[in-house]
Amino acid sequence: MNSKALLAAGSILVLAASLGACRQAAAPEDKQQDGQVSAPDAKPGLTVSGARLVLPAVSGNPGAAYFSLTNGGDKPTELAAVYVTGSGGAEIHDTKAGEMNLAERVALAPGETVKFEPGGRHVMVFDLLDTVTAGTATEMTLTFADGDKLSAPLKVEMVTGGGSEEHVH
């Protein structure tokens, strides 16, 4: 798997350029809106599956988290924020027609599954610590609009060959 991390110098430059643009668009947001700290409670009916964090090809660039979120409850809910342990912060992004947008909230109707996947909606993860390495796991905490939280393990993966899963917009 490690050998796949070797990318041509040219494509790294291209990636670095596009990631730079994304970081610039997203950076001014400060996610620490309030000092509210509550014990993370499992949110009834909500499940996360297939959660993984794809490391950047170039150290220091943002990574991306992908997962499926299902609302198995009987009420609509809204995902408001994501936190990844071992990172400096995370943002929900949506990609439409090749354009990246900061998604403030993601609504889930009862029974709905929302996918965070390469090329679509994703979570951009900033300032990853060196301790977050491929083959290990970290933790992701989802915060919903009503303040409820849901934590799930996040498998850490090397970016795959060709950089198709790299965080590129």
Radius of gyration of the chain (CA): 16
DSSP percent split of the chain into helix, strand, coil, nearest 5:
15, 40, 45
How far is it, in rounded angstroms, from Cα 153 to Cα 129?
17
Q: Binder to Cu ion among 81, 93, 143, 144 (CB under 5 A)?
A: 93
Tokens of 82: 């994501």
Please give the Cα distance from 124 to 14 (Å, whole number).
18
Tell me the window of 8-16, 67-75, 122-130, 145-153 that interacts with Cu ion (CB under 5 A).
Answer: 122-130
**With CB under 5 A as the contact rule, which of the stretches 71-79, 93-101, 105-113, 139-147 interacts with Cu ion?**
93-101
90 forms part of the interface with Cu ion (CB under 5 A): no
How far is residue 19's CA from residue 167's CA, in Å, rounded to a whole number?
Answer: 7
Give the footprint of Cu ion on residues 10-49 (CB under 5 A): none
Shortest Å, Cβ 46 to Cu ion = 23
Shortest reach from residue 63's CB to Cu ion, in Å:
10
* Residue 102 CB, nearest approach to Cu ion (Å): 8
Q: Does 124 bind Cu ion (CB under 5 A)?
A: yes
Give yes or no for residue 51 binding Cu ion (CB under 5 A): no
In this structure, are strands 89-96 and 122-126 parallel, antiparallel, or unpaired?
A: antiparallel
Q: Nearest residue to Cu ion, using CB?
A: 93
Interface residues with Cu ion (CB under 5 A)?
93, 100, 124
